[in-house]
Amino acid sequence: MKTLRVAGSLLVLGISLMVPTLRAGAPLQDVQVVTTDRVDFAAGGTIRILAATGELNIEAWDQPQVEITVTRSAWTADTPAAREKVTRELNLTSVTHDVTLEKTGAAELVLGTMHKRSNSIHLDYRIMVPRSSHLVIEHRIGDVVVDGVTGSIDAHTHQGDIMLLLPSTGQYSFDMATKIGGIHSDYPGSWHRNDLTGEKTSQDVPAPASRIHLRVGIGGIEIQKLAPDALTPAT
């Protein structure tokens, strides 16, 4: 995933990557299970993503579909029995999806994660969405990256960084705050400290500007402008 300038959760990530090499005993093996699902979904609808933990990467494309790729991984002893056991546990993790119609007649897609609760299982999501989708993200632990989406974005994470790469051709209204962490944005705004450890910024732009509402508990926020030639190509 793309690198953030804010370093709070990256330090935690660096420490976690060292854990397998620090454990005593037999060598450990990284076991992975990867699945991909596609759901038909027209542009302009609302997508709600309820992912408890893991790295969440959302990219825009020009297809009338949502593609969800989930990589589940865990370290285990390098023996056939141990690998088989952890593979069964990883296969218990699944992403549910349900498409309904909102009162306005627009479509709404809800993505949720059902998995065996275990601190040893790591989840990595890559979700492709129609470019003009509206996103509502409820995330607990892990970084959130949104690349090229032009619709409104409402994202909350308890612990982790949020990074948005927004097309420079769009108009956006910002309301962003962190409890513990900093904010960096390529867009102007009204800034002030949020208590003693966080930051808050806002910028009101009249409709039809896309609304960007971000809240982070522990972690940072970064907003970058995307040049038109940097948009994700249709595939």
Indicate the range of 63-67, 136-140, 187-191 predicted with least confidence. 187-191
Whether a cis peptide bond, with omega within 30° of 0, leads into 233 is: no
Kindly report the pTM of this predicted structure.
0.78
**Which residues lie closer than 8 Å to 44 by C-beta, 6 or more apart?**
106, 130, 132, 133, 134, 151
pLDDT digits (tens, 9 = 90+) for 150-195: 999 999 999 999 999 999 998 999 999 999 999 999 988 776 666 6
Q: Containing H/E element for 57?
A: strand 55-61
CB contact at 8 A, 15 and 55: no
Confidence at 227, pLDDT banded by 50, 70, 90: confident
Residue 52 predicted with pLDDT over 80: no
Domain chopping of the chain, boundaries: 9-19+31-229
**pLDDT band of 94, cuts 50, 70, 90:** low
Q: What is the 3-state secondary structure (H, E, C) of 163-223?
A: EEEEECCCCEEEEEEEEECCEEECCCCEEEEECCCEEEEEECCCCCCEEEEEEEEECCEEE
How many CB atoms sit inside 10 A of residue 132's CB? 16
Is the CB of residue 114 less than 8 Å from the CB of residue 23? no
Q: Given pLDDT bands bounded at 50, 70 and 90, which one contains residue 1?
A: very low
Pick the closest to residue 87 from 123, 125, 37, 33 (CA basis).
Answer: 33
Contact 123/51 with Cβ under 8 angstroms? Answer: yes
Q: Say whether pLDDT at 96 is over 90.
A: no
The residue ranking higher by pLDDT, 193 or 44, is 44
Least confident of 86-100, 116-130, 142-156, 191-205: 86-100
- Over residues 9-39, the pLDDT tens digits come to 433 444 344 445 445 556 788 888 888 889 8
State how far the Cα of 180 lies from the Cα of 140, in Å rounded to an integer. 15
Of 175, 42, 166, nearest to 108 (Cα)? 42
